[in-house]
Amino acid sequence: MFRAEPWAEAFTGTAALSPEDPEEGLSLTAEALEYLRLFCRFALLLPGDLSGCGDAGRMDASIQRALEKQSCSGPAADTARRFILLMIRRGCFHQHKRIILEIEKIIYRRKGLKEVIVETAVDPGEQLLSAARKKAALLTGAREIKTTIRIIPSLIGGVRLRIGSVLFDGSIKGQLKKMAADLSAADLSGLEA
């Protein structure tokens, strides 16, 4: 079973991205992640599954040419280039999305940023989003909240907050389910042998 966490830890712990100043390190890591995303999009345009030293060599040559054309260099670009080549050599490039998600989580954690998914039946509007951010900050203790909105019409109304693996359900659908469960429990408790 593939585990993305060690790959993400290796990426974010790279010596080139870890200068003395932690803030500068976070900036370099975020920049390297953007390069990694760019290189992954580029790699997806290539035909077939990328795996092995031959594919890594071809990809390296392509990345080098692109970086030279754009006059890009530095530790962030080099780290992303070496990392994607390692993923290709080790045959796990197909897991790039999972690895990138884990890298984002590490960056968020280091920044004191928490990602919260706000699920509503309709577009929540800025007032509801602001309230959701405040509630999430209170629940998590995070300094900053990043929200992602998901529109789920079956919720009928209200809002659900997903913070990591925890779900806070204030939707009408959730309230109706709870009421149905309470009614079922009440019906069963009235039956005595």
Domain range summary for the chain, segments of one domain joined by +: 4-109, 112-189
Identify the CATH class of 112-189: alpha beta
Q: Tell me which amino acid residue 126 is.
A: E
Rounded alpha-carbon distances, angstroms, from residue 154 to 9, 45, 110 = 38, 36, 35
Rounded-to-integer distance, Cα 144 and Cα 106, Å: 14
| Residues 117/162, Cβ–Cβ less than 8 Å | yes
Q: Are strands 144-151 and 113-120 parallel, antiparallel or unpaired?
A: parallel
pLDDT at 35 over 90: yes
- What is the reported pLDDT for 118? 93
For the residues 36-55, what does the mean pLDDT come to? 87
- What is the reported pLDDT for 97? 95
Backbone angles phi, psi at 141, to 5 degrees: 80, 10
Q: What is the pTM of this model?
A: 0.66
